[in-house]
Amino acid sequence: MTEIIDLILALSQDIKDLKARIELLRQSRAEVLKDTWIDNQDVLQTLHISKRTLQTLRTNDTLPYSKVKGKFYYRVADIEQLLQDNYYNHNFKCNGNK
């Protein structure tokens, strides 16, 4: 009986180790993606906005970009920052209580 308990405990520890490794891989992948550059079309599809809206975001200096031979590129991290800076939670009150 103790052999079964020892086996279950060992399996439980192995599962915990696997979960930790998977989480580490997910985090490192997310960090790599933040440094990725995407073009106009990807931004339009990701944010579900029009070309004109994206142009306005560039013109107003709301969204940083790089322009190479007439083609615009945007960092994923900058897009995430834009979304984070404009995040609004209607359930959150000023005093921190819901």
The pLDDT tens digits for 22-58 are 888 777 666 666 778 999 999 999 999 999 999 999 9
Q: What is the pLDDT of residue 67?
A: 95
Identify the pLDDT of residue 91.
79
β-bridge pairing 71-75 and 66-68: antiparallel
Residues 6+ apart with CB under 8 A from 80: 34
Place 6 in a pLDDT band, splitting at 50, 70 and 90.
Answer: confident
Supply the pTM of this predicted model: 0.60
Together in a domain, 22 and 43: no
Whether residues 86 and 62 share a domain: the answer is yes
Tell me: do 31 and 47 sit in the same domain: no
Q: Which residue has the higher pLDDT, 93 or 74?
A: 74
Q: Which domain holds residue 50?
A: 36-97
Number of structural domains (the chain) is 2
d(C-alpha 64, C-alpha 86), whole Å? 15
